[in-house]
Amino acid sequence: MLTFLKKDLLLFWRDRKEVLLVVILPLLIIVVLSISMSGMFDGDENLNVDLSLGLVIEDQPEEAIEVISNQISMSGKIPEDVKDNLINSIESAPPVELLTNALMSPGIGDWVTVKTLTEKEAVDSVENGGRDAMLVIPSGYTEQLLSYLYLGTENKPELSFSAKETSFEVDIIHDTIEGILNQMNLQYALSLSGTEVDMTQIQLPEGSTESIAADRDFTMGIDQYFTLSMGVLFVLFMASTVATRITLEKREQTFNRVTLSNAPPYHFLFGKTCATFILAMLQIILIFMGSHLILDVFSDRTMMFWSGLLLISIVFSLAVAGLAALMTSISLRIKNPETANGAFTGIIMLFGTIGGSFVPIYVLPDWLQKIGEFTPNGQTLSVLIEWFHFEDLSLIWLPLTVLTVFTVISVIISMMLYPKRGEVS
């Protein structure tokens, strides 16, 4: 297998045009996009614009709190010594209140103007451009959320976020709300374990204050967002780049020569898979390091942050390698190489779109967002953003596991699809 790996790496290295394309082009795009949109940011890379959010509260938290408090009191699953503390937490800081307070807190309220509206008012103001976005807290939200967190019910409630069109303003508001919700859920979960948590406010990382996340700055800069999203997208393209080379090996009959050599069939496949992993790793490292050197996107980050970034890069590169294996096997079965190449580029573009590499995923329909969560780039981008904000391993281990499962399944399917003798088209 090492022979195949060496050959594939050597072939890639010899194709200088391709090498420049996979490393220089993403860096160029990141720099150009960052500079062209840098007017949105001041020297400290903090938001310099006034964003506006319409908040629609349909929930009736009082009734829900009473119901949940009773259920907590009667629950046999929650330790007795924690029950009073939990009920006090809920009563003193209901979720809706925590959320609205966080949105209007000095750290966020300085650049996001939140106004409570009826649904119709909110829809109209977003529609006529008066507000950047609207957030709806649906009826039953408090009860469903607390039941999910404390009583183990299955349905996690969701807030409805909508905007007329995608923009960086909208993107930033969405990320901010997502960060608040993650932190709120974490604090509620910690209170269940008996840990003493100040539930009167959401402890958002702010300034030099040490809190749960080690971020100095909660808001992600535009250059940082592009580094992550474009980095992930271009690395994803590595899968189709490798698969496209198969068509050349088929056309020039080198694949037939390999088949006739009696080499174990999967060595060819695993050679491609390992080569893709190595190339994807190198690519993502070069993009991140290049962006950092040019734009200083990861300044003053801890060793922990860099280690996590490396871990996420490794897992994502494995997923891209799995995808390349799958595309390799499919490519060997498809008769028309142009069809295969077109289909692979289409799949990558689709993954890029529904995975949020081109546009933020919340502008897409819900069902598409759900699918997007399962794309390797969608998962990775979300993990990178979480890691960038919070450096909290507990937030990323699950998506990383999903990515690993994706890799394993892709490799297994690619082995099943790998053509037997006479099946190469």
- Least CB distance to other proteins at residue 425 (A): 11
CB closer to other proteins, 107 vs 419: 419
Question: Contact letters (x/-) for other proteins, 13-52, by CB under 8 A?
Answer: -xx-------------------------------------
Binding to other proteins by residue 336, rule CB under 8 A? no
Tell me the C-alpha distance between 131 and 197, whole Å: 34
**CA 115 – CA 268 distance, rounded (Å):** 60
Please calculate the CA angle 153-157-163 and round it to the nearest 5 degrees.
Answer: 170
Query: Which is nearest to 361 in space by CA: 346, 339, 377?
Result: 377
Integer Cα distance of 131 and 51 in angstroms: 8
Question: Does position 11 bind other proteins by CB under 8 A?
Answer: yes
Q: Which stretch binds other proteins (CB under 8 A): 6-14, 63-71, 79-87, 350-358?
A: 6-14
CB nearer other proteins, residue 4 or residue 351: 4
CB 189 within 8 A of CB 169: no
Among 4-12, 196-204, 226-234, 370-378, the segment contacting other proteins (CB under 8 A):
4-12
Q: Which strands form 112-116's sheet, in the order they lie side by side?
A: 112-116, 51-57, 133-137, 160-162
- Closest distance of CB 251 from other proteins, Å: 8
Distance CA 269, CA 414 (A): 8
- Is the distance from CB of 387 to CB of 379 less than 8 angstroms? no
Distances (CA, A) of 334 to 61, 171, 421: 57, 40, 15
The minimum distance between CB 348 and other proteins, in angstroms, equals 24
Beta strands 133-137 and 160-162: pairing type?
antiparallel
Polymer length of the chain: 425
β-bridge mates for residue 238, sequence order: none
Give whichever of 12 and 225 is closer to other proteins, judged by the CB atom.
Answer: 12
Looking at the Cβ atoms of 249 and 391, the one nearer to other proteins is 249
Q: How far is the CB of 317 from other proteins (least distance, A)?
A: 24
Contact at 8 Å (CB) between 414 and 328?
Answer: yes
**DSSP-based three-state secondary structure for 288:** helix
Site for other proteins in 251-290 (CB under 8 A): 252-254, 256-263, 267
Closer residue to other proteins (CB): 105 or 244:
244
Cα separation of 65 and 87, whole Å? 9
Closest approach of other proteins to the CB of residue 22, in Å: 16
Select the span of 2-10, 52-60, 183-191, 195-203 touching other proteins (CB under 8 A).
Answer: 2-10
The candidate with the shortest Cα–Cα distance to 34, out of 239, 188, 223, is 223
Q: Which is nearer to other proteins, 105 or 259 (CB)?
A: 259
Stretch that binds other proteins, among 53-61, 118-126, 246-254, 334-342 (CB under 8 A): 246-254
Among 77, 120, 335, 421, binds other proteins (CB under 8 A): 421
Roughly what angle, to the nearest 10 degrees, separates helices 303-333 and 265-295?
Answer: 140
The reply on whether position 422 binds other proteins by CB under 8 A is: yes
How many residues bind other proteins (CB under 8 A)? The answer is 22
Residue placing its CB nearer to other proteins in the complex, 3 or 92: 3
Nearer to other proteins, 216 or 257 (CB): 257
Candidates 4, 316, 362, 390; binder of other proteins (CB under 8 A) is: 4
Contact between 351 and 380 under an 8 Å Cβ cutoff? The reply is no
**Residues contributing to the site for other proteins (CB under 8 A):** 3-4, 6-7, 10-11, 14-15, 252-254, 256-263, 267, 421-422
